[in-house]
Structure 1
Amino acid sequence: MRLLSTLAYALLFLSFAQAQPTQKPKLVVTPLNDRVLVHTTYGIYQNTAFPSNGLIINTSDGVVLVDTGWDTPEDTDNTRQLLRWVADNLHRPVRFCIVTHFHDDRVGGISEMRKAGIRVISTPLTARMSVKEGYPSPDPVLPADTTFTIGQVPIRCYFPGEGHTSDNMVVWLPSEQILHGGCFVKSVAAFGMGNVADANLTEWTNSVRRVINQFGTAKIVVPGHEEWGDTRALEHTLQLLAKQAAAQKR
């Protein structure tokens, strides 16, 4: 009888634990050097809290963000934490935020940015697709390949071709030799391609090769998710794509 009671209690506890919503860790900010930092926020992917990386670029003329926090239209707390961290620690205004494609881990905090009076910019395609996903439209001012300078820091936004999405772009900081690959680039810690619902798996490989040709000298490559490192992330992305293609042929 006692064994049955213990078993019933264990099953009840397991059921209760499974019913609880997955808790997301708070914002993490990690310096890459004295000017560029990675902001990491968490979303829920396949019932697990999963990290998403963007950049904080601290220039003499203010801060540039690459991607918002991973948010939803109903909950923009990640981006709120990000803006609070910048205000409390860098004491400079955010000039604008570049969003690198239309998924919620890149554009989810647009409404919070707007509330704070911060301009969000993207390509015209990303702007259109963001609206289709239910987010406010970023300003569609970025061409497919452009370089501008803020506070003596050159920033290049480059569309390499379709891959993770049809609109994914990367951000290159030539003076820092840092490449923000976003979800277009897979971390060396990744075992698979992740979310490919909007991917062009046929073209992605060619697009990665263009990025390697353009930015193969990068010292640091920051993927959209998980750990960052060097250009091995680009080669790893090609390897994962090759495995994906082989699996589809079986």
Structure 2
Amino acid sequence: MELRHRALQVLCLADPEQKAAAALDLQAQSATLSIAEQSPTPPSDASALPGRPERPELLRHTDVARRSPATPQGRAILIHAIAHIEFNAINLALDAVWRFDGMPRSYYADWMLVAGEEARHFRLLRDHLRSQGHDYGDFPAHQGLWTMCEKTQHDILARMALVPRTLEARGLDATPQIQAKLRQVGTPDALAAVGILDIILRDEVGHVAIGNHWYRWLCERQGVDPEIHYGTLVKQYEAPRLKPPFNEAARRKAGFTDNELRWLQQI
């Protein structure tokens, strides 16, 4: 079984625990598998891609409830929302592996690394939810990350620009703010969540760096200026507007330039 064919199979799995386990297993085997010259054939039923469980109920982004982390229920909703992002991030990484032809082997290895780390994040958050009497699927969620994945399915340059280095990079900005609120709460479960978010933030810097690397690699291959072309792609695909404050230290670690950080402050 070739790596990209197997990545598509894992992407189609609906059960969250099976998907997380299979992503980790595939990452462990990936160095021994051939890549596949041609993209695998996706399932004829479009609703099977990506595989997802019956729950959580998916709502529009504006319809998903937000609760204060000051209450146990509010903290559960918050952790559930982050777990849903991490579950979607497994799908995004697997999609980057199976969908796009003609990339170096290191590209596929990078995105399998991301898939495995996102699976670990999801498991950490799900275990935390369970320790508080809840589980993944107990609260509604939204599907914003996958929507951009669909919009960029025919353009790998746009995918690298607008998923890892735009949507996922928002986590670099949001996570420290969430951690500060949880530290203020100060309960054992809130502080345990802060520790999990430390792991996620550390790994996500690397994930965004991978997106930055391959975005610039593709820009060089296509002969376009990465900083100018990014603004073009944001408009073309109607990417969400990013709002300050920005975690400039983390973004610099992830490979954003001073010019790019200034541009973010001006949009």
What is the TM-score when the length of structure 1 is the normalising length? 0.30
1 or 2, which has the higher strand percentage?
1
Whose Rg is larger?
1
Q: Which has the higher contact order (CA 8 A, sep 6+)?
A: 2
1 or 2, which has the higher helix percentage?
2
What is the TM-score when the length of structure 2 is the normalising length? 0.28
